[in-house]
Chains A and B, each alone.
Chain A
């Protein structure tokens, strides 16, 4: 099918489905005459309303719900995040890296955005990375909602909450109410299976247990940078610059959650292997190169009421991370390294409403990164870090309209010394529907073990590496036109300093030093609207100007990002379609080239509710087969990497109640 016809077919399909989309005519009889027990058993049609943010009032939060995840056929956290205002991801066929607030410097494993699952900070202690692809801890089908909290969050969470926080809230077992099986097929030889059991037991305990397995062949990729017309390379492996069978991926996940009264236990584990086709870090082209990542955690949370005006929440956690990299070099043969991190911590938080008009949140955290080990043929080293933190926040209700949020967090790290990060925010409700917020805050990120201690002979360690900092001022206007229509707009300024930056020492060696800085001014606007007939719309535009320490446009920082999401039911609410458009402006590469802007269209059809337990979802991604490229990170010969063309994804689910 040529492009023109495909466009026509899609437009016709969308129009046709829109014609079918209609509201249910609600019939009402007097419900008050029915016995209460009977009412409890009756089904309701939920009215459309904009999800309210749960976390962090001083920010303007974007929420993506389980319904959105299904309607738009998201199958990784990266897909979800790409739909959110001001966020973008960059893929180098090893990892998806998250960029936001104009900051997406490639080659920084650290996303500088804290990724939390039910309050547990998932970033590892080797790279400080947030894993948002198949190396991440969670299957998207287990997610109830994802909240993106833009802005610095060190006041509440300390390390890594540099540009924002991604907060994943997982589903409850009772959301499944039985067993669910899922089978998926996707382009490039991908398949995935999942089995999930979730329920509330007789004794009130809520359990959720899920396993999944993904396997993908990937593509044979052509990288013109490795063409060797004069046949100068004695190694025949260069294969006309086509990397064969090196884009494969395998990922296995386990997730479990148990909630009983005030106690929540949670555990997750992921094992992912990814073939690396890009010949990164100078490995031989078209030869063996693989990253193998393990991530896991166990967490326990206990909530307790100490009287009517004091609540306590205790959170203990253990996490580990292991990465094994192997690559073939022309000189030196097989390079193998493995890096292992382990940590545990305990956080004791109190919320007090004892003083009139004040809500106090205070507590302390101890975290022991007791293992941060690096092993490669050049060097082996072991490190550890203990962090003690204390925090206090006070939200003061001055009047019905005015609120003040003051807070500070103190962090002391055994190898870095102490930090204090404050936040001051004023919130003013012009009317119940209109909220104005002004916030000033600072945040920091500790150097990752990789940045501070790693060496392979070319990259050298820097024991004097310190934390990096950011200062933010933000003005937010939030207006609910109706309970179903919300506008968020935000104007912000970020200034970073002592940025941890990879710098060449001479022709052969490099290291990380606190030399970088940047300043960013941005504006974001987002409109969300829901209709009672099941139509939902979210559209956003963001513009950001990011300038680095050399007064240059920041690498991999698109000035303009646009997102458009529209979903509606059709065929009498039996099917739903989800249309997604994403515009990414041009970006500067590390080789100082400009990569062109692009618009991607994704289209998904899903069944609205299971029939005889069966559900289906079909997604076309990059519908118009747009050619586009991602900025390549450091360590790659390529300056940019071509991304996937049109591809398809199909999921079938079966619910056993």
Chain B
């Protein structure tokens, strides 16, 4: 049997089967962010809006707009698009991804020890400094938690969230 014929057989075997509809990555990331906010306790009650901040050029883009106005922590969720690290201080939750921010270290210095839940995605290392890092693994979104910076920021991450994390440092 020739090689092309073998391939033909191999390709015929690969006939479509039924699969559940997967969710676009950024929609899922937005839903995760909402859950992180729900399963975290801030040291003081949040007055006014719950600011979920994202860098304006972040590829998560419009996926976050579905969260706008949702009730969270007795406040209303508001998506803030920031352009500079200095603006990060007004956030309750700060999210960034590799492609969205230039200087992570400087960003972290700006928010160090403030009660801001920091969430990164696709971090070059899981321990890039954010409290939570999301990553796609085997076509599923998963997250790891670093409790030390959260503790210093006086944020209380629920035990349920820690249980669902694939890794806790």
Chain A residues at the B interface, C-beta cutoff of 8 Å: 26-28, 30-32, 34, 36-37, 39-47, 49-50, 52, 54, 174-175, 177, 185, 204, 308, 353, 356-357, 359, 397, 400, 403, 429, 432-433, 435, 480, 483-484, 572, 574-575, 605, 607, 611-612, 614-616, 618, 648, 650, 652
CB atoms of A400 and B103 under 8 A apart: yes
CB atoms of B24 and A43 under 8 A apart: no
Is residue B47 contacting chain A, with contact meaning CB distance below 8 A? Answer: no
Assuming A45-B22, A185-B3, A357-B109, is B57 touching A433 (CB within 8 A)?
yes
CB atoms of A44 and B103 under 8 A apart: no
Is residue B137 contacting chain A, with contact meaning CB distance below 8 A? Answer: yes
Q: Which of B31, B99, B103, B124 is within 8 Å of A39, CB to CB? A: B31
Which residues of chain A come closer than 8 Å to B140, judged between CB atoms? 40-44
Distance in Å: Cβ of B77 to nearest Cβ of chain A: 10
CB atoms of A31 and B23 under 8 A apart: yes
Which residues of chain B come closer than 8 Å to A46, judged between CB atoms? 25, 136, 139
**A483 CA / B103 CA spacing, docked (Å):** 16
Binary flags per residue of B1-45, CB closer than 8 Å to A gives 1, else 0: 001101100110111110111111111101110110001000000
**A42 CA / B139 CA spacing, docked (Å):** 8
Q: Which of A31, A400, A574 is within 8 Å of B31, CB to CB? A: A31
Is residue B85 contacting chain A, with contact meaning CB distance below 8 A? Answer: yes
CB atoms of B21 and A27 under 8 A apart: yes
Chain B residues at the A interface, C-beta cutoff of 8 Å: 3-4, 6-7, 10-11, 13-17, 19-28, 30-32, 34-35, 39, 55, 57-59, 66-67, 70, 84-85, 98-103, 105-106, 109, 122, 124, 136-142, 148-149, 152, 160-161, 164, 167
Q: Which of B3, B103, B160 is within 8 Å of A397, CB to CB? A: B103
CB atoms of B84 and A400 under 8 A apart: yes
CB atoms of B55 and A614 under 8 A apart: no
Instruction: Name 24 A/B residue pairs within 8 A (Cβ), A-sorted.
Output: A31-B28, A32-B34, A32-B66, A32-B67, A36-B39, A37-B164, A44-B23, A44-B25, A44-B140, A44-B141, A45-B139, A49-B99, A52-B98, A52-B99, A174-B137, A177-B138, A185-B6, A429-B102, A432-B100, A575-B11, A575-B14, A616-B7, A616-B10, A648-B3
Distance in Å: Cβ of B156 to nearest Cβ of chain A: 17
Which single residue of chain B is at the shortest CB-CB distance from A33?
B31
Which residues of chain B come closer than 8 Å to A356, judged between CB atoms? 109
Which single residue of chain A is at the shortest CB-CB distance from B148?
A308
Distance in Å: Cβ of B62 to nearest Cβ of chain A: 11
Which single residue of chain A is at the shortest CB-CB distance from B19?
A43
Q: Which of A47, A400, A612 is within 8 Å of B25, CB to CB? A: A47
Q: Which of B13, B19, B21, B31 is within 8 Å of A34, CB to CB? A: B31
Which residues of chain B come closer than 8 Å to A484, judged between CB atoms? 59
CB atoms of B16 and A572 under 8 A apart: yes
Apart from A32-B66, A40-B142, A400-B103, 4 more pairs, CB < 8 Å: A32-B31, A42-B22, A43-B20, A185-B3
Give me the 6 closest cross-chain CB pairs, A-B, nearest first: A31-B31, A616-B10, A43-B22, A483-B59, A483-B99, A52-B98
Which residues of chain A come closer than 8 Å to B109, judged between CB atoms? 356-357
**A484 CA / B142 CA spacing, docked (Å):** 22
Which single residue of chain A is at the shortest CB-CB distance from B58?
A483
CB atoms of A30 and B139 under 8 A apart: no
**A403 CA / B84 CA spacing, docked (Å):** 16
Which residues of chain B come closer than 8 Å to A397, judged between CB atoms? 103, 105-106
**A235 CA / B75 CA spacing, docked (Å):** 93
Assuming A27-B21, A185-B3, A432-B101, is B84 touching A39 (CB within 8 A)?
no
Which single residue of chain B is at the shortest CB-CB distance from A648?
B3
**A42 CA / B142 CA spacing, docked (Å):** 10
Distance in Å: Cβ of B81 to nearest Cβ of chain A: 13
CB atoms of A26 and B124 under 8 A apart: no
Distance in Å: Cβ of A325 to nearest Cβ of chain B: 34
Assuming A32-B67, A43-B139, A353-B105, is B28 touching A607 (CB within 8 A)?
no
CB atoms of B25 and A616 under 8 A apart: no
Which residues of chain A come closer than 8 Å to B152, judged between CB atoms? 308
Which residues of chain B come closer than 8 Å to A575, judged between CB atoms? 11, 14
Distance in Å: Cβ of B37 to nearest Cβ of chain A: 10
Distance in Å: Cβ of B66 to nearest Cβ of chain A: 7
CB atoms of A357 and B13 under 8 A apart: no
CB atoms of A26 and B103 under 8 A apart: no
**A208 CA / B67 CA spacing, docked (Å):** 40
CB atoms of B24 and A650 under 8 A apart: no
Assuming A49-B99, A572-B16, is B25 touching A432 (CB within 8 A)?
no
Q: Which of A37, A49, A650 is within 8 Å of B3, CB to CB? A: A650
**A429 CA / B23 CA spacing, docked (Å):** 34
Which residues of chain A come closer than 8 Å to B161, judged between CB atoms? 36
Distance in Å: Cβ of A288 to nearest Cβ of chain B: 31
CB atoms of A614 and B10 under 8 A apart: yes
**A618 CA / B148 CA spacing, docked (Å):** 49
Distance in Å: Cβ of B12 to nearest Cβ of chain A: 10
Which single residue of chain A is at the shortest CB-CB distance from B101?
A432
Distance in Å: Cβ of B23 to nearest Cβ of chain A: 5
CB atoms of B148 and A44 under 8 A apart: no
